[in-house]
Amino acid sequence: MKIKAVLYLLAILTIGGAAYFSYDHSVKFKDHQQKRLAAIAENKDVTAKAEGTEKELKDEQGVLKTVQNTREETKQSITVLKGKEVESKKQVGELDKTIAVQNEELIALDKTLKQIQLILTGLGEGINVGNIAEYFNKISDEKKALERTLEEKETLVAAADKRLADSKAEETRLIGKKMERNVRISNNAMEGVITGVNQDWGFVVIGAGSNTGFTPQTSLLVKRDGRLIGRVRPSAIEPTQTIADIDLESLAAGVRLQAGDRVILASPLTH
């Protein structure tokens, strides 16, 4: 009985020990599992943080690159701006010189304008710098009109001078011709007297013939009171009488030959 009891007791102790060790092992396993899960979770968190940090690093590297590029562009811009600043300063200096020259020119122009205005005052009331161009245009138009009038008058004077010169030349020629004719007439001893006139048939009878020197080829001039009044052409010549045709075209308007008119030779003394 004692042995059974001991066995029972050992069996109970063994079962209890096994149960204790099983429970203790289970508790330790759970604790280890929790630690392992915690470590895994922490590892994931660390990994996530590391990935985030790496992304942030890449982003920061990109931003840094952009900043570096911007900085380089800024340096280049500053260099360009400095060059432009130098050029601008140079241009400003040149503009200052130009402005100074223009100021001097304006002063001189103002002085000139005052002098012009003083001169314009003497041209008449209402004449000023603003309307001087219109005034000069008016004067110019009047000058052109006067010049045209002068040219027209000069043309008329020239034409009149020419007509006068032509008239004088013609007068001189006619006087010379008249004098020459008078000399020929006065020197011409071959003459006769018209004794009869037939106006219907256009001929005259002259009281002189071949004895006086008349020939069929002789051209005869008719005069009255010392003035030539026409021509006649011999058609029949006798020793003491000549029949001559009247040259009607040679007669002046309204003139008719009549008995008593004298006839002289027109040739050879006319050549």
Whether the predicted pLDDT of 268 surpasses 80: no
State yes or no: pLDDT of 79 exceeds 90: no
As a whole number, mean pLDDT of residues 111-126 equals 66
Q: Is residue 137 part of a domain?
A: yes
**For the chain, first and last CA: distance in Å?**
218
Name the domain boundary from 140, 164, 187. Answer: 187
Domains: count for the chain: 3
Residue 183's pLDDT is what? 47
pLDDT digits (tens, 9 = 90+) for 167-217: 767 776 776 666 555 544 444 457 899 999 999 999 999 999 888 878 888
pTM: 0.32
> Which residue range is the domain that position 158 belongs to?
131-187
CATH number of the structural domain spanning residue 231: 2.40.10.340
251 within some domain: yes
> Mean pLDDT for the chain?
79
**Which residue, 123, 152, 179, sits at the end of a domain?**
123
Output the pLDDT for position 269: 44
Mean pLDDT computed over 89-117? 78
Does residue 271 fall inside a structural domain?
no
Considering only residues 56 and 269, tell me which one the structure prediction assigns the higher pLDDT: 56
The angle at the Cα of 185, spanning 167 to 262, to the nearest 5 degrees, equals 110
Read off the pLDDT of each residue in 75-97 and give the average, rounded to a whole number: 81
Q: Are residues 200 and 156 in the same domain?
A: no
